[in-house]
């Protein structure tokens, strides 16, 4: 019952936030960079079909798989994907089951299966160093599946320590937060990884405090790096993407990609 309620809540909150953005004009602004027809693709995940957009920066460019946030669909990432392309990074963003054009329901298991299926798709399309990036909700999903994937590094942007703590942080009553499934425990998951981890967080994030980011970075036990960016609200990195935020992310991927190529 708890998982069913979580699934319904995830689907409802996602649609409400997208509807809100359509009403207030944010959707039109953030989705103002359309993808080309040849950049849109579909991915099989179990018996479900996922909508995805792949923006290439060239055959030799490092590649990143993006697990987006709760109130987003792939179109939200158009400006950020174009900026990453300019910065020499290929990117693939996909919609979880039940999001946007993707079929099915956004259960915990489906979201993780979707990330794994999308990663498999990206590995078929590039032989370059491969990274995974989670944003907001996607930080928990990406951290949970990272150990099962052939990725060279993990990037966690504007994330949380665990889904239950995230629910409490955004203002849910304690008794409601306690009913959130005990899943997507980012802090614990990164402690079990050996790959490099970059934790990006704004000191003005209005959903998750920077103290959560510090705990996640510390849990990495020497293979994590924390970058604190000043002054940005939670969704501002994708609503108004800039080189101040995404430049360090791209530089981090290029640095580790260069190291991998040198050793291997």
Domain boundaries, the chain: 2-263
Q: Which long-range contacts (CB under 8 A, 24 or more apart) does 216-223 make?
A: 216/156, 216/159, 216/161, 216/186, 216/187, 216/190, 219/187, 219/188, 219/190, 219/191, 220/190, 220/191, 220/193, 221/191, 223/193, 223/194, 223/195, 223/196, 223/197
Q: What is the pTM of this model?
A: 0.93
**pLDDT confidence of residue 183:** 84
In angstroms, rounded to a whole number, what is the distance separating the alpha carbons of residues 243 and 73?
22
Q: DSSP alpha helices (H): ranges in 25-87?
A: 26-30, 78-86
Contacts of 157 (CB under 8 A, 6+ apart): 133, 134, 135, 136, 139, 200, 201, 237, 249
pLDDT score recorded for residue 2? 57
Backbone angles phi, psi at 78, to 5 degrees: -55, -55
Q: Average per-residue pLDDT in the chain?
A: 90
pLDDT, tens digit (0-9, with 9 covering 90-100), for 79-103: 999 999 999 999 999 999 999 999 9
Predicted pLDDT of residue 3 = 62
Q: What is the widest separation between alpha-carbon atoms in the chain?
A: 52
The domain 2-263 is classified under which CATH number: 3.40.50.300, 3.40.630.30, 3.40.50.1820, 3.30.565.10?
Answer: 3.40.50.1820
- Quote the pLDDT of residue 18: 76
**Residue 8: pLDDT band with limits 50, 70, 90:** low
Sheet holding 153-157, edge to edge: 40-45, 48-55, 90-94, 63-67, 130-135, 153-157, 197-202, 224-229
pLDDT for 72 beyond 60: yes
């Amino acid at each position: 019952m708890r998982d069913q309620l979580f699934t319904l809540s995830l689907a409802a909150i996602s649609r409400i936030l997208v509807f809100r953005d359509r009403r207030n004009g944010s959707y039109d602004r953030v989705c103002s960079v359309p993808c080309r027809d040849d950049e849109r693709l579909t991915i099989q995940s179990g018996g479900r079909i996922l909508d995805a957009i792949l923006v290439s920066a060239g055959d030799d460019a490092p590649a990143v798989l993006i697990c987006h946030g709760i109130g987003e669909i792939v179109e939200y990432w158009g400006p950020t994907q174009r900026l990453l392309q300019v910065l020499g990074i290929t990117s693939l963003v996909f919609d979880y089951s039940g999001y946007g054009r993707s079929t099915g329901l956004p259960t915990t298991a489906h979201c993780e299966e979707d990330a794994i299926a999308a990663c498999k798709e990206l590995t078929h399309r590039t032989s370059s160093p491969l990274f995974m990036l989670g944003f907001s909700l996607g930080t928990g999903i990406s951290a949970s599946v990272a150990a099962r994937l052939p990725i060279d590094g993990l990037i966690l942007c504007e994330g949380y320590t665990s889904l239950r703590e995230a629910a409490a942080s955004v203002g849910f009553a304690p008794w409601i937060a306690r009913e959130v499934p005990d899943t997507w425990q980012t802090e614990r998951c990164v402690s079990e990884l050996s790959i490099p981890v970059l934790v990006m967080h704004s000191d003005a994030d209005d959903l998750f405090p920077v103290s959560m980011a510090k705990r996640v970075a510390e849990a990495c036990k020497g293979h994590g790096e924390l970058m604190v960016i000043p002054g940005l609200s939670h969704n501002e990195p994708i609503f108004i993407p800039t080189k101040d935020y995404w430049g360090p992310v791209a530089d981090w991927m290029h640095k580790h990609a260069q190291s991998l190529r040198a050793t291997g």
